[in-house]
Amino acid sequence: MKRPTILVLGAGYGGLMTVVNLQKSLGADEADIVLINKNDYHYESTWLHEAAAGTLTPEQVRYDIASVINSNKVKFIEAEVTGIDVEAKNVKTNLGSHTYDYLVIALGFEGETFGIKGLDQYALSIANVKAARQIRDHMEYQFATWSTEEVKDDSRLTIIVGGAGFTGIEYLGELGNRVPELCKEYDVPAKKVRILCVEAAPMVLPGFDPELVEYAVRQLGAKGVEFSIGTPVVEATAEGVMIKTGEGEDDIEFIKAGTVVWAAGVRGNRLIEESGIENMRARVKVNKDLRAPGFDNVFVIGDCSLMINEAINRPYPPTAQIAMQQGDVCAKNIISLIQGKPTMEFVPDLKGSVCSLGDDDAIGVVFDKKLTGKKASFMKKMIDNRALFMVGGVGLTIKKGKFNIL
């Protein structure tokens, strides 16, 4: 009997967790497991804001895929997926095509610009390791250039962050720690630097506990961060952004800035929209067992999946915590299908949420308990280390973990 081929697209939290669980549970003679990813490394996407600010190096936020997969059970292909045809059970890459018996789509997120003019051309996005490095280098270039100019252009030292959601706030927290270091390194007076967060929504961290949000805004304000809430960006240019400050047509303000970082929304991978699977903004409203509607052999997990929290009738947020749990259940369900057994329903086990405000500060709710400051920061690092442990065990945790916890 021919061994089934399990094709996993993407080595993010969900995809890698699926593969790690499959290789633990299946023998080499039970299935052909194939993992396709455009890089030979996995990066911790929840750490990208640190790499973008320069508080961690790009090398610190990534590790080799080969270090956590069993090459006797898993075939890894470094290639970029260019097309998915679920009717023909075929996946195209820049290096060739692949057929499958079971498909796992875990391709991760893409930045969402909401059609704002100039944003994709002039704003930087915390999208991946390379983009994070670009942001860090660009920001340092602005500081270095200002320090050598005969006629100083202070707008070089203005940093605009679009979005006051999770990513935006965590990035602002890192900037609060990193900017003083840059000022010292490049002899820049701190008073010359402006960090401005622009958010279209009427609040910071929507959905988070208001008391904790107030703490976060106060702490970031003490680090020099300004907030402009309820002021959407309407256009980005080579020199800055235009924001809408009121209801009138003329209520537009232009803010000149040397660095503009967009952190105000994500969508699923655009290949989903071309795959033949019903979707909304490249996210698939999956069945309870994580399969795509109408396709019993296709699973969609991570940022490409959409699940409704029926208690509040809103989608679950696309978090690493949920993606890893999905990877675990996805692997179990594929094994059940191979063995002719029924699949299980995915029920998120939400243990809490922690938002960092820099290396030594954070806010969070863990097991229904509110945390701030160093206690929340400690918990954030433990969550990060646990994710490493679940994928690569003690060895990976020791190598890449965060142990500056005091």
pLDDT in tens, 269-291: 899 998 989 998 889 999 999 99
Asked if residue 19 has pLDDT above 60, the reply is yes
How far apart CA 79 and CA 310 sit, in angstroms, is 38
Query: Which pLDDT does position 405 carry in this prediction?
Result: 59
Give tens-digit pLDDT for 181-199.
999 999 999 999 999 999 9
On whether the CB atoms of residues 229 and 265 are closer than 8 A, the answer is no
Query: Which pLDDT does position 103 carry in this prediction?
Result: 98
Query: Which pLDDT does position 325 carry in this prediction?
Result: 96
Give ranges for CATH 3.50.50.100 in the chain. Answer: 5-38+79-111+267-350
Cβ within 8 Å of residue 20, ≥6 positions away: 68, 69, 327, 390, 391
Query: Which pLDDT does position 196 carry in this prediction?
Result: 97
Share of the chain above pLDDT 90, in %: 85
Confidence of residue 81 (pLDDT cuts 50, 70, 90): very high
Alpha-helix residue ranges (DSSP H) falling in 26-152: 48-53, 119-122, 129-148
Query: Which pLDDT does position 217 carry in this prediction?
Result: 97
Count the helices and strands in the chain (H runs, E runs).
8, 27
Give tens-digit pLDDT for 286-345.
999 999 999 999 999 999 999 988 877 888 888 899 999 999 999 999 999 999 999 999
In DSSP terms, which residues pair with 233 in a beta bridge?
243
Averaged pLDDT, 84-91: 95
Catalytic residue among 44, 170, 174, 199: 170
Give tens-digit pLDDT for 135-168.
999 999 999 999 999 999 999 999 999 999 999 9
> Catalytic: 110?
no
Averaged pLDDT, 30-41: 96
How many of the other CB atoms lie within 10 Å of CB of 228?
18
Query: Which pLDDT does position 253 carry in this prediction?
Result: 92
Q: Which residue has the tokens 């670009």?
A: 134
Across the chain, what does the average pLDDT equal? 94
303-312 b/e (C-beta count within 10 Å ≥ 16 → b)? bbbbbeeeee
Question: Which CATH architecture describes the domain 5-38+79-111+267-350?
Answer: 3-Layer(bba) Sandwich (3.50)
The arrangement of strands across the sheet holding 240-244 comes to 233-237, 240-244, 252-256
Residues 119-261: name the CATH superfamily.
FAD/NAD(P)-binding domain (3.50.50.60)
Averaged pLDDT, 220-239: 95
Query: Which pLDDT does position 316 carry in this prediction?
Result: 86
Query: Which pLDDT does position 110 carry in this prediction?
Result: 84
Give tens-digit pLDDT for 387-406.
999 999 999 999 999 987 55
Give ranges for CATH 3.50.50.60 in the chain. Answer: 119-261
In DSSP terms, which residues pair with 90 in a beta bridge?
85, 99
Give tens-digit pLDDT for 112-139.
888 899 999 999 999 999 999 999 999 9
Asked if residue 1 has pLDDT above 70, the reply is no
In DSSP terms, which residues pair with 5 in a beta bridge?
32
- The pTM (predicted TM-score) of the whole model is 0.93
